[in-house]
Structure 1
């Protein structure tokens, strides 16, 4: 019987620590974190406020660098890369979804998805138009493409943000409390959409959350407490 080759993980965090300040003012935000995240996983990152969840998301995304340890992202050692190369990897391979949507209020729904594709060089204007319309349709907003974000509900704005994050077809989607600013029913609908998208695209989803709904339905749950790995359902 032939030995099966284990597939490379999407993200590998080895002995990750992160501290801020020095001396008496030093804060250890993360302490010796070891996590391997498989391609296509839907992972919920849980823990109380101030536990280190957002710091961990920033490090695995290449936005911040650890004080110690190694980050391997899609077979790239992020510690060794310049800021320009990190920005290129984020632009090409990462999709970000934020709690407060971060839409540009003066642009239409369509333009909020269209312009990042063009400005970041993902495709030409013709392809960007097709992608923007396709992904807005996939999140149920094809009929609202001409509206401004201020004319939408919170749930609709988050759907625009999801379409924007997915339109360049990233390998990894990182979401920081994507349902935290929404009511229960709307949050459930957004969660359904994220789970469906994960299944369809096979992208890796890493979601920081306080939501018990998301925690109950995620493929894998990791809990961070006081900067330490307190629980991993995969272990």
Structure 2
């Protein structure tokens, strides 16, 4: 008999507002955002610069708090969690990819993936070594693991950053303009990689982007304008 019970979303946002400043100089960045993101979705968050995309990413991942409304991430109400519990949740269950890679320049590709695993307590040294090598191989960089970021191209650096984000097997990956610092061909290759990971692992991806290529290929597109939800391809 088929169940009618609806699966819980990976991320649930209800009545999200974000304001900065005091009552006299109040700037509203987000206004009444209501959004559900299912497990396994590949969602592109679009909108012009200054529309609130990065702020929304920070709120849904527990880095920032809303002024009003509540966030449920992986069945946990973030509003009620202490900062150390939020940090633990992010460390265990979320991966982050950034536009400018955020790699440690003094470490080689392998160590940029390996050390976060050990320092965050995800794996012991042996398991972290195996996992780091596997992830670098999965993004096509097994032969370049000894190179430092300055010896890698932009696309190769982003592949290291992807390997680092995925090494602890997060349930959700949050990416802020992951192809924004890359040329068109390299950006397409990175998009191919992310889509393939999503399809193979079922990892949820939430990606802010200006890329028309990413927008065209994402499973779902949500657009933010002037701090509000202007478009949702799922509706």
Same fold (TM over 0.5): yes
1:1-235 correspondence runs (5 A): 2-235=2-235
Q: State the shift of 1:4 in Å.
A: 1.8
Further displaced range: 199-208 or 23-32: 23-32
Runs ≥4 in structure 1, deviation > 4 angstroms? none
CA distance in 2, matches of 1:17, 1:61: 15
Q: Deviations over 1:125-159 (max 9, x none)?
A: 00000000000000000000000000000000000
Which segments of 5 or more consecutive residues in structure 2 lack a partner in the other structure?
A: none
CA distance in 1, matches of 2:51, 2:34: 16
CA distance in 1, matches of 2:4, 2:160: 41
Secondary structure at 1:156's aligned position in 2? helix
Q: State the shift of 1:47 in Å.
A: 0.2
CA distance in 2, matches of 1:61, 1:86: 9
Q: State the shift of 1:179 in Å.
A: 0.2
Q: Deviations over 1:5-35 (max 9, x none)?
A: 1111000000000000013421100000000
Q: State the shift of 1:2 in Å.
A: 4.8
Question: TM-score, with normalisation over the residues of structure 1?
Answer: 0.99
Secondary structure at 2:140's aligned position in 1? coil
Q: Deviations over 1:79-137 (max 9, x none)?
A: 00000000000000000000000000000100000000000000100000000000000
CA distance in 2, matches of 1:61, 1:201: 20
> Residues 180 and 2 from structure 1, CA distance in 2 versus in 1: closer, same or farther, beyond 3 angstroms?
closer
Further displaced range: 1-10 or 77-86: 1-10
Count of aligned positions: 235
CA distance in 2, matches of 1:112, 1:209: 25
Secondary structure at 2:122's aligned position in 1? coil
Secondary structure at 1:23's aligned position in 2? coil
Question: TM-score, with normalisation over the residues of structure 2?
Answer: 0.99
Q: State the shift of 1:190 in Å.
A: 0.2
Q: State the shift of 1:3 in Å.
A: 4.2
Secondary structure at 2:173's aligned position in 1? strand
